[in-house]
Structure 1
Amino acid sequence: MPAPFTTLPALLIAGLFASAVFAEEAPSFTDLSACRLDAERVLLTATFDGGACQAVEPAQLAEPRGTIVAVTIPTVSTSEMCTMQIVPIAVEQVIEAHADIANLDVTVLDPQNNAQAHGTVEIADPGADCVAPAD
């Protein structure tokens, strides 16, 4: 019969591997794009699957890491009582990103601060369809 403490490390290691395998990544955006408006601003547009009573807050930017910046888009609940209906939620925000930034690492957080959608996008050059939304 094996000593009880010799199987404990093996069980702990197996548990760690199992939790890594079952860890879920946030779903991808159904649409994600970014285009440069000018040397200091980028238009970020995205669509993700969210709750019918969920609203998007202004994006928050982390400190750039080389040519990439992490963008976090928090959401809030708009009602105490809501259906469990899943709806597409559109985001269109102008963010500050100097000309050296070439990519955005975008994460949407649900109202409980869990990752709800995640993706990376290269910032496209300005084009005719890259226009800041009217205020």
Structure 2
Amino acid sequence: MHRSMRSFPLALALTLSCAAVFAQEAANFTALTACRIDSERVLLRATFDGGACQAVEPAQLAEPRGTIVSVHLPTVNTAQMCTMQIVPVQTEQVIEAGELIANLDVTVGDPENNQIVHGEVEVEEGNGDCLVSLG
């Protein structure tokens, strides 16, 4: 057997083990709720563990798939130098979601747009009660 062929299984095993280390699954939200404000809007509240200098940008919505709409919450760093401290990051956003939308598939992207948090939530009928805590 050629020398290069003998090292192939070792190289393959090393590559696969490195890929497993870098392929992390997205974390879950620590809190995720969706409450219908009216027939066209939903209040989305989300909390996840993130960086101390991480801020959530306005939600980006995909085209609905039946009764589900995908919501992407991009984040930005608010400082160039920041501690590695993990803190709860909260967002509260009103999104456009017609009355046929019953579920939201929500993801958070880091500043490089890598998916870091994922969750699904059913839209609860709030009949305007959602606005009470908004102040």
After TM superposition, the score normalised by the length of structure 2 is 0.82
Classify 1:75/1:68 alpha carbon distance in 2 versus 1 (closer, same or farther; 3 Å). same
Letter of the 1:71 partner, please give it: V
Structure 1 alignment gaps of length 5 or more: none
User: Any idea what the Cα deviations from partners look like across 1:72-114, whole Å, max 9, x if unmatched?
Assistant: 0000000011000000011100000000111000000011111
Greater Cα shift, 21-30 or 51-60: 21-30
Structure 2 alignment gaps of length 5 or more: none
1:46-57 map, 5 Å: 46-57=46-57
Q: Which residue of 1 aligns with 2:74?
A: 74
Provide the C-alpha distance between the structure 1 equivalents of 2:125 and 2:19, rounded to a whole number of angstroms: 41
- The alpha-carbon deviation at position 45 of structure 1 amounts to 0.3
1:80-91 map, 5 Å: 80-91=80-91
- Structure 1 residue 94 corresponds to structure 2 residue 86: no
Letter of the 1:37 partner, please give it: I
- Structure 1 residue 45 corresponds to structure 2 residue 45: yes
Query: Between Structure 1 and Structure 2, which shows a larger proportion of helix residues?
Result: 2
Runs of 4+ in 1 over 4 A off after TM superposition: 15-22, 132-135
Please say if residues 105 and 120 of structure 1, whose CA atoms lie closer than 8 Å, have aligned partners that are also in contact.
yes
Q: Which residue of 2 aligns with 1:34?
A: 34
Please say if residues 94 and 132 of structure 1, whose CA atoms lie closer than 8 Å, have aligned partners that are also in contact.
no
Q: State the percentage of identical aligned residues.
A: 64
Classify 1:100/1:128 alpha carbon distance in 2 versus 1 (closer, same or farther; 3 Å). closer
Give the count of matched residue pairs: 134
Q: Which residue of 1 aligns with 2:119?
A: 119
Provide the C-alpha distance between the structure 2 equivalents of 1:34 and 1:132, rounded to a whole number of angstroms: 14
After TM superposition, the score normalised by the length of structure 1 is 0.82
Provide the C-alpha distance between the structure 2 equivalents of 1:21 and 1:100, rounded to a whole number of angstroms: 40
